[in-house]
Amino acid sequence: MENENFEQRTDLSKLSSAVEKIKATLSKIIVGQQQVIDLVIAGILADGHILIEGVPGVAKTLTAKLIAKAVDVKYSRIQFTPDLMPSDVLGTPVFNPQTAGFEFKRGPIFGNIILIDEINRAPAKTQSALFEVMEERQVTMDSHTYKMEEPFIVLATQNPVEQEGTYRLPEAQLDRFLFKIEIKYPSLEEEITIVTQQHQQKTADQLNDIKPVLAGADIIALRQQVRALYVEPKILAFAAQIIHETRNNRSIYLGGSPRASLAIVNAAKAIAAINGRDFVTPDDIILVAAPVLRHRIMLTPDKEMEGVLPDDVIAQIIQKIEIPR
């Protein structure tokens, strides 16, 4: 009886309904990739930015565009290239002859859902333009500060195998992404479904049929619900211990920062809410550990040469820690 009352402290019916609407919208075009969709939705509910990585053709950009279509907010897309300048992203002062003064012309970063395609094709100078806006949700230009309108979400894509013409993202920028989501190849059954759906598609642009199911105000309200979810002290300690162990592991050169501890808890809250619970379990922490940490930790050179992956080390760390029950 006590557990039943515990589960019903917060009414998550509106949140569950919103999640189902988004999933139904994405499943009209995206085949499979259920965990990817859950993590993208969790990232939005946790008020985080998302980095999506995968080989060409696995629907990285399409997933981001579908999310933007499903929410009735201002959407902006920026294609990162080697010659892109910070002013191309943030905006620039423009002279107005009528007022004989300069006026700030806002760049494409001023929106609600921002898709940055192939983010690792721009050099460090352009990447640095994102530091302030991703963390502080504002742009400072000529001593003036321009606040971003909420919700503000950066969905960035990158290709893991194309090295020519790409740049490694700075650690400080990677740390600003809540998740790094890896999209894998579909299974044979899923690929058959993809080909069949495309063959039967009567219109050239599938996105034209997608209608918004949520407003920006809905996202803000759902985020407040997620923030209010209950987390037991022992669960908080479990999350902090995982991050602490990344700083004391022989296989890791650079461990997670306190920002990673906050990220893993916020992400776990969002996963719990998606699953209809107003409390976080250890399984929620374990589920989000890899996407929260895989881009934040750096392995030692010898481990990289051995082909060890960050996910492998993260799994080993979790296995060594006593899971609270």
pLDDT band for position 61 (50/70/90)? Answer: confident
Domains identified in the chain and CATH numbers: 29-228 (3.40.50.300), 229-325 (1.10.8.80)
- Beta strands of 18-112 (E only): which ranges? 49-53, 71-72, 75-79, 91-96, 101-106
pTM of the entire predicted model: 0.89
pLDDT average, residue stretch 98-124 = 89
**Residue 154, pLDDT score:** 95
Please count the CA atoms within 13 angstroms of the CA of 209 that sit on its side-chain side: 12
pLDDT average, residue stretch 61-80 = 88
Task: Give buried/exposed letters for 211-241 (b at 16+ CB in 10 A, else e).
Answer: eebbebebbeebbebbeebebeeebbebbbb
Question: For the segment 266-325, what is each residue's pLDDT rounded down to a tens digit?
Answer: 999 999 999 999 899 999 999 999 999 999 999 999 998 998 999 999 999 999 999 988
Q: What is the DSSP letter of 182?
A: E
Cα separation, 173 vs 128, in Å, equals 8
Cα separation, 240 vs 119, in Å, equals 30
Is residue 164's pLDDT more than 70? Answer: no
Gyration radius from the chain CA atoms: 21
Cα separation, 27 vs 31, in Å, equals 6
Most confident segment among 31-40, 64-73, 86-95, 277-286: 277-286
Cα separation, 74 vs 135, in Å, equals 20
CA distances (Å), 226 to each of 119, 157, 271, 274, in order?
A: 29, 26, 9, 9
